[in-house]
Structure 1
């Protein structure tokens, strides 16, 4: 997320300064950072009056702008997808998974953005090389996976039953 936040910030400054295409990110960055002008934002950055983690708020902004049709935001998400897809493809190649029958779980908040551009582009790129791979969001939260692993390691419990119960609990909590 930090890399994407940095790219959003750069795109917004380039838009503001006329060095890049106009983008919805230009006004959105000021709003998210609580600034009235780019001069104020520059000062706040220089004097460290904005906490570094506050810039992570620019990540959802990128997804929102992309959903509204902002070409710059969509291109940033596509480039992020390309980088992530290259990592998966390189790893699969190094592990000699030629049959392509492996699973890619899209874990992390980056994959939950409101625009489908990141996920769609990532899936398309990976499946060009490995059409048989199974790409999906996690069925359960990572902590639940840790619980299932503990259950599997305890030979007396059935991880299948636990998985079913956890899914039912998740569905009930989401009102499904």
Structure 2
């Protein structure tokens, strides 16, 4: 008996095939499936190829999926869920179950880190999102509306602030920051005006900006005050999302698991993680901070297994 889990984000998508004992038997990585930037046939092809290779990598023959769960970044409105469900059901190259679960990736992130059935997850990758669920089953989302409307605290947020800081350093609006020279070196230019032809062209967008978050961490390690300010601001935005979710569900004084996933939290002593932990411990004293060590798509796998067991009772 096999279960399929998908963790779809703005940078890449991981797909896992596992058995009923939660043993991973096939894994694949494919392109982004964030539905604000990947649509229709492209989304179908990306998912279809990823599922095919996950099954192929298991070296099993005639695999039948008992239950599948797709955790996709950017799913917010009923029309989003309906569109992705339609696309998933149109996949015929592999035998999926007739009732695939389509969820926001932040929901799967919570299950990835805890089996309690309630708590808060905060996703900080290219973008950001927060999902909260109370002991009583009430749930809410905070943020997660894409890089134009939200995504505070994620890689794009940090990268965009790096560009803004470099621009202000260039024309004198702020004191000089080494971020300016680091941006020049990154793009192979001599000034911000030379950068115009690179940033205002096709192919330069959210992903390219998000990658600049690495420069911010490097500058922070060199003692740059502006880089420190940007990273601290990102951490505070993530804390605000968590606090807001907890407040909306009356969980401020409760003990709950806080599951933190995404690139911003990967480094144990990374600046965003360090700032974030400090603020959480001061504001949500009973929150148990968890950084899952299992694979990203395991949250979706575990939900698929959970739902299958419930239906079999």
- Structure 1 length-normalised TM: 0.78
Which 10-residue stretch deviates more, 18-27 or 112-121? 112-121
Corresponding residue number in structure 2 for 1:51: 204
Matching residue within 101, 116, 123 for 2:255: 101
Check if 1:69 corresponds to 2:237.
no
The partner residue of 1:86 within 237, 240, 249 is: 240
Q: SS state of the match for residue 261, structure 2?
A: coil
CA-based RMSD of the aligned residues comes to 2.2
Deviations 1:68-90 (A, max 9, x none): 22111111010111111111111
Are the structure 2 counterparts of residues 50 and 150 from structure 1 closer, same or farther at C-alpha, using a change threshold of 3 Å? closer
Give the structure with the higher percent helix: 1
1:106 to 1:87, Cα distance in 2 relative to 1, 3 A = same
Kept in 2: contact 1:60–1:113 (CA 8 A): no
- Mapping of 1:1-176 within 5 angstroms? 1-46=155-200, 48=201, 51-52=204-205, 53-112=207-266, 116-155=270-309
Between Structure 1 and Structure 2, the one with more strand by share is 2
How far off its partner does 1:65 sit? Answer: 1.2
- The residue matched to 1:155 in structure 2 has which SS? helix
* Cα distance per residue 1:92-128 (max 9 Å; x no partner): 0111114331122221112235862211211111221
| TM superposition score normalised by structure 2 | 0.46
**TM-superposed deviation, 1:37:** 2.5
- What runs of 5+ residues in structure 2 fail to find an aligned partner? 1-154
Which structure has the higher relative contact order (CA within 8 Å, separation 6+)? 2
Question: What is the distance in 2 between the residues matched to 1:72 and 1:44?
Answer: 24
Shift in Å, 1:50: 5.8
1:45 Cα offset (Å): 2.9
Deviation at 1:64, TM superposition (A): 1.4
Structure 1 Cα separation of the partners of residues 269 and 196 of structure 2: 29
